[in-house]
Structure 1
Amino acid sequence: MPNRTAILETVKGTIKFELKETEAPITTKNFIDLANKGFYNGLIFHRVEPGFVIQGGDPKGNGTGGSGKTIPLEIAPTLTHKKGAVGMARSQDPNSASSQFYICIEDAKFLDKNYAVFGQVTEGQNVVSNIRKGDKILKVTIQ
C-alpha cells in the first residue's frame, strides 16, 4: 500500500507531504489520528526560524501545548532532516512528542537521531519558506 499524503491548507497556500508510514508507524498514526479529528484546523505556526524550520500544532499557540497524549521517540535511520522533512517537536524528554510538528526550510542534519522525521514535503516547499509566525493552518486532510 502506498504511503498516504497529508494536505495542509494554510493562509499562504497548500503544503503536501508524504507520510512515511512504514518507517515511522507510531508517529504517522498519531499525526493522522489528530488530523482526522480536526485537531490542527485553525491552529497557527507559532515558531518560525528563517533558514531552519516552521513549527505548528500547539493549541495554546506558544510552544507549550499538545494533544494531551505523548508518543515514544521513533527514529528511522533512512529518514533524515533534509529540506522539506517533517518531524515531531518535543521537549527535552525524548518521549514527549504530542501534536507539535515542524517542517525543515533547509537541511538540518544535526537533528538526526534526536527527533522523529515522519514525512517529506512533495509539494509546496515554497509555501513553507513563506510561512510567518502567526500564520494559520486552515485545515489538514489525509489522502
Structure 2
Amino acid sequence: MIMRLFQIAAALFLAVAAIGPAHAASDDNTLTIQLKDGPVVVELMPDVAPKHVAQIKELASKGEYDNVAFHRVIEGFMAQTGDVEFGDMEDGFNAGRAGTGGSNLPDLPAEFSKVPFERGVVGMARSQDPNSANSQFFIMFADYPPLNGEYTVVGKVMSGMELVDKIKRGEGGNGEVSDPDRMIKVTVGK
C-alpha cells in the first residue's frame, strides 16, 4: 500500500515537472501588447506560421513595435498596426504614409493555413502580392471568412480583447485613423 502511494506521488511529481517546461516554452510564444487601457496577450502560433512568428518576435525583441500606430481600424472588421517604418508615433511618424512601410527585414513568403479568421485572430497584413508580408499585422474584431486561406494567421488574443475593442476607429473610407491609438510597448513573453 505504501509502495503504491509512493508510485502515485512519483507519477504526479513527474507530471507536474513535465508541465513546467512546456508552460515556460509557451511564454516564448506569447506577445504582450501594452495599450493605453492595459495589456493584450497574444498566443503566437509558430506551428502555423514559423517564419512570420519568428519575424514578429525579432521585431518585438528589438523594440521596433513600441509606439507604433493603429493606422487602419475598421469597425466590425479589424485593427491594423505594425508599420515600423512610417508608423512610429515618436520617431518618424508619417500619417500619410503609415500603412505603406515595413521593416528592414525581408518580406516573407505566405504561410497560409486552415486556421479561420475569427474574432481575436491576428493575421499578417500584405499588399496584393501574397508573399509581401513584413511587419504589419491586424487583430480581428469579428469573424471574416473571406480572409481564410488568403492571409497568414500568426496568433490569437488570449486576454485583453475588450481593450482591443476600445481602439480608436478610423474615419476614412479605408479605415484611416487621425490621431490614432498606438501600441505603447510590445514584448515577447508575459
Identify the TM-score tier after normalising by the shorter chain: over 0.9
1:76 partnered with 2:101: no
1:120 aligned partner: 156
Instruction: Determine which structure has the larger helix proportion and give its number.
Output: 2
What does 1:1-143 align with in structure 2 at a 5 Å threshold? 1=22, 2-3=25-26, 4-59=29-84, 60-61=86-87, 62-68=98-104, 69-77=106-114, 79-132=115-168, 133=177, 134-143=180-189
Where does the alignment leave 5 or more consecutive residues of structure 1 unmatched? Answer: none
RMSD: 1.1
CA contact (8 A) 1:19 1:118 kept: yes
- Per-residue CA distance 1:80-128 (angstroms, 9 max, x = gap): 1010000000000000001000000000111011100110000011111
CA contact (8 A) 2:48 2:153 kept: no
- Give runs of ≥4 in structure 1 deviating > 3 Å: none
- Per-residue CA distance 1:5-57 (angstroms, 9 max, x = gap): 10000123211110011121111101101101111001110010001000001
Instruction: Determine which structure has the larger strand proportion and give its number.
Output: 1
Q: Aligned partner of 1:127: which letter?
A: L
Where does the alignment leave 5 or more consecutive residues of structure 2 unmatched? Answer: 1-21, 88-97, 169-176
CA contact (8 A) 1:12 1:131 kept: no
Of structures 1 and 2, the larger Rg is shown by 2
| Percentage of pairs with the same residue | 41
CA contact (8 A) 1:9 1:137 kept: yes
- Per-residue CA distance 1:117-141 (angstroms, 9 max, x = gap): 1100000111111101410111111
| Secondary structure of the corresponding residue to residue 130 of structure 1 | coil
2:19 aligned partner: none
Query: Structure 2-normalised TM-score?
Result: 0.72
Q: Aligned partner of 1:46: which letter?
A: H
